[in-house]
Structure 1
Amino acid sequence: MVDVRRLPSADDLLVLLTVARLGRFNAVAEALGTTHTTISRRILALDRQLGGRTLERTPQGWELTALGADAVTAAEAIEQSLGDLEARRSRSDALTGMLRISTPDGFGARFVTPALVRVQQENPRLDVEMLSATRKASQNRSGVDLEVVVGRTETATAEPIFLTNYFLRLYAGPAYAERRGLPERLEDIRHHSFVSYVESALQVQELGHRSSQLPLPVSSFQSTSIFAQVEAVHAGAGIGLLPSFMVPAGSALLPVLHDGFHRQLPIWAVARPESLRSAAVQVAVAAIRREIGERADELAA
């Protein structure tokens, strides 16, 4: 018979698993409804039980040691067994717990949100937190289970999953077009006002005006929110470089140089390997892909 008094705590193993997925004690504490101090104490207790360190701090955040990786494998088995038990008890395969995702606000609102709502409707005991962030894949532990990011992915510690490409195109509002006219050539942009991201706050440089190779405009209206940019273009602030999926068919916005200029950018889902083994993350990625597939025409314009 196994002496259970000498076995590591299953609760502490599951805490370590959550740390491995989210990477930051504060994020883990929020997900588990406890405190940073409690998480630290549980990890130290597990280290004592296992006779070594399970985590080490690196410039990229907390990383698993070899012992920690073995412990996470055991924790995943416990999580799977508990999930199977809960499914048998409730006679369903519903997911439970917390799923945390970061995503650009525009793509997140248009595609990720309906996908996650569908997931939650099918799994009513699953909590979802969606954070708006327009950035490239984090080199450090990000505090989320899954990142949806724009542009090239350059991280050795996480796995990228290609979701789709989309187009950035130029648009103007009717009032602006009537007041200022529309450019007939790219060089004419220099005579117009422009709506775009705040360049100094932009992490994905491909989204900005400076990297677009367009001429410098007379003036600019810049915002960190794509929704504010769309509203600014509607209100006549200038010509905007907008995702085409943010300008649906029937919109009052007018295409500008539609055949003369566009940018195509990829969108990826990025997560650590231990997060990608989570059933909730797998279901979320599948749901986002399904949403994209069902509405591919909105991304191909």
Structure 2
Amino acid sequence: MNRFPNPDDLLVLLTVARLGRFTAVAEALETTHTTVSRRISALDRQLGGRTLARTPAGWELTDLGRHALRAAESIESSLATLKSEVSHRGEAVSGVVRVHVSDAFGAYIAGPAIVDLQRDHPRLKVELLSATRRASRNRSGVDLEVVAGRVEDSRAEVMVLCEYTLRLFASPGYLQEQGRPTSLSDLGRHRFVSYVDSELQVAELDYRSTGLPVPSAAFQATSIFAQLQAVRAGGGIGMLPSYVVHGDPDFAPVLVDSFGRSVNYSALARPESLRAPGVQAVIGAFLAETRRQRVALGS
């Protein structure tokens, strides 16, 4: 190595380490895949070796890359401190954070949390991708992932954000028409609103794993929001997150004393991503919002 590596190239490496995919990095940095590749190649030449290795999970740091990453993080931290001191506005958190969340969490917890966070840090941009699925083995393209249910992923840092309760609900009109079940065994004769069996990836959200009598599945949907509207319209009894219907008179709890299932929301990220100020700020906002909603989450 004849001279110091370009700091811009080191910051590109830092973004690759967090997102794992050149296309995602190009989008986050508002540049092109070719430019990202060229920056990494230039850095490799300056350092005299490969900083990244391609894996099925995306680009991963080599030993040399991990040494370079520490320098990149120091540059990022110094720039953030300088920016804060110059502006005197405390807006050290900026940039783009891409988060994948489950549907209900995204709408009822992540949405309000991000809006509050951006009031204090208006230069922070958060891209929210949503789908209800198990933890991904390939976390390329996102800084942070929030999933429901048990997590089995030793390659990621895992933090439990909160616990919430699944309960049975129906519309008052449905119960008036069909009668209110008085025991779990009564459920077998009722219509049921649920996820599509063949598409559901999270076992904890499947009524078949609860030990409940197998009901007649009148309405199945991959979206929790479609299920909510089906239950609201009198389509049957649904196993729903209690916090999404908390205080809503269109949803009447069923067999509260007989059934309730606790499920965790967990945040997962690469260790490199967790050190980013923006990711730390987003996680902090999620934790604050779950604390604010703790009554609804456990209801």
What are the residue-to-residue correspondences of 1:3-82 with 2, within 5 Å? 6-82=3-79
Aligned partners of 1:121 and 1:67: how far apart in 2? 39
1:132-154 deviations in Å (ceiling 9; x for gaps): 12223222223111111111121
What are the residue-to-residue correspondences of 1:137-148 with 2, within 5 Å? 137-148=135-146
1:6 CA drift (Å): 1.6
* 1:242 paired residue among 240, 243, 248: 240
Structure-1 residue corresponding to 2:82: 85
Confirm or deny: 8 A CA contact 1:10 1:75 kept in the other structure. Answer: yes
Confirm or deny: 8 A CA contact 1:24 1:141 kept in the other structure. Answer: no
1:61 CA drift (Å): 2.2
* 2:209 paired residue among 202, 208, 211: 211
Aligned partners of 2:289 and 2:8: how far apart in 1? 36
Identity %: 56
Deviation beyond 4 Å, 4+ runs, structure 1: none
Moved more, 134-143 or 21-30: 134-143
What are the residue-to-residue correspondences of 1:221-240 with 2, within 5 Å? 221-240=219-238
Which amino acid counterpart does residue 83 of structure 2 have in structure 1? E
The residue matched to 2:114 in structure 1 has which SS?
Answer: helix
* 1:136 paired residue among 124, 134, 137: 134
Confirm or deny: 8 A CA contact 2:53 2:60 kept in the other structure. Answer: yes
1:250 CA drift (Å): 4.2
Structure-1 residue corresponding to 2:260: 262
Cα RMSD of the aligned pairs, angstroms, is: 1.6
| Structure 1 unaligned blocks of 5 or more | none
Aligned partners of 2:18 and 2:63: how far apart in 1? 16
Aligned partners of 2:155 and 2:89: how far apart in 1? 34
Structure-1 residue corresponding to 2:98: 100
> Is 1:158 the equivalent of 2:156?
yes
Aligned partners of 1:149 and 1:241: how far apart in 2? 18
Aligned partners of 2:37 and 2:132: how far apart in 1? 30
Which amino acid counterpart does residue 15 of structure 1 have in structure 2? V
TM-score when scaled to structure 1? 0.94
The residue matched to 2:198 in structure 1 has which SS?
Answer: helix
Which amino acid counterpart does residue 248 of structure 1 have in structure 2? H
Moved more, 35-44 or 256-265: 35-44
Structure-1 residue corresponding to 2:182: 184
| Structure 2 unaligned blocks of 5 or more | none
Aligned partners of 1:189 and 1:37: how far apart in 2? 58
Moved more, 98-107 or 208-217: 208-217
Aligned partners of 1:136 and 1:256: how far apart in 2? 27
Structure-2 residue corresponding to 1:170: 168
1:189-247 deviations in Å (ceiling 9; x for gaps): 22111111122222212112222222222233111221111111000111100000011
Confirm or deny: 8 A CA contact 1:62 1:141 kept in the other structure. Answer: no
The residue matched to 1:241 in structure 2 has which SS?
Answer: strand
Aligned partners of 2:201 and 2:6: how far apart in 1? 41
Which amino acid counterpart does residue 55 of structure 2 have in structure 1? T
Which amino acid counterpart does residue 110 of structure 2 have in structure 1? V
Which amino acid counterpart does residue 13 of structure 2 have in structure 1? L
